[in-house]
Amino acid sequence: MKAFKCALAVIAISILVFSCASSGGSSGEAGSVVPISWDFDDPSADTAGWRVATGEFWDYSGTAALSRDDATFGNGMLKFDVDFSANSKSEWSEPKIRTSVGKAVSLKGYSKFTFDIYYNPELSSSGGFNSKVIAQYGTGTTTESVGSVINAQDDAGNGFLKATVSLPIRSSGSMDTVIFSIAGYLTDYKGPVFFDNIRWE
DSSP string, 6-65: HHHHHHHHHHHHHHHHH-TTPBPTTS-BPPEEE----GGGTTTT-EE-GGG-BS--S-EE
Clarify whether residues 149 and 57 are in a common domain: yes
pLDDT by residue for the chain (201 residues), tens digit each? 444 343 333 333 332 232 233 233 444 433 456 679 999 999 999 999 999 999 999 999 999 999 999 999 999 999 999 999 999 999 999 999 999 998 899 999 999 999 999 999 999 999 999 999 999 999 899 999 999 889 999 999 999 999 999 999 999 899 999 999 999 999 999 999 999 999 999
- Its domain, for residue 83, covers 38-200
Clarify whether residues 8 and 102 are in a common domain: no
Closest CA to 71 of 43, 93, 103, 99: 43
Total-model pTM: 0.83
Confirm if 52 and 158 have CB atoms less than 8 A apart.
Answer: no
Taking the CA atoms of 115, 116, 122 and 126 in sequence, report the sign of the dihedral they define: positive
Q: Report, in this order, helix, strand and coil percent for the chain, each rounded to 5.
A: 15, 50, 35
Clarify whether residues 22 and 97 are in a common domain: no
Clarify whether residues 122 and 157 are in a common domain: yes
Q: How far apart are CA 48 and CA 134, in angstroms?
A: 18
Domain count, the chain: 2
Clarify whether residues 131 and 57 are in a common domain: yes
List of residues 6+ apart from 148 with CB closer than 8 A: 130
DSSP H helix total and E strand total for the chain: 1, 12
44 vs 48, 77, 172, 185, CA distance in Å? 9, 13, 34, 34
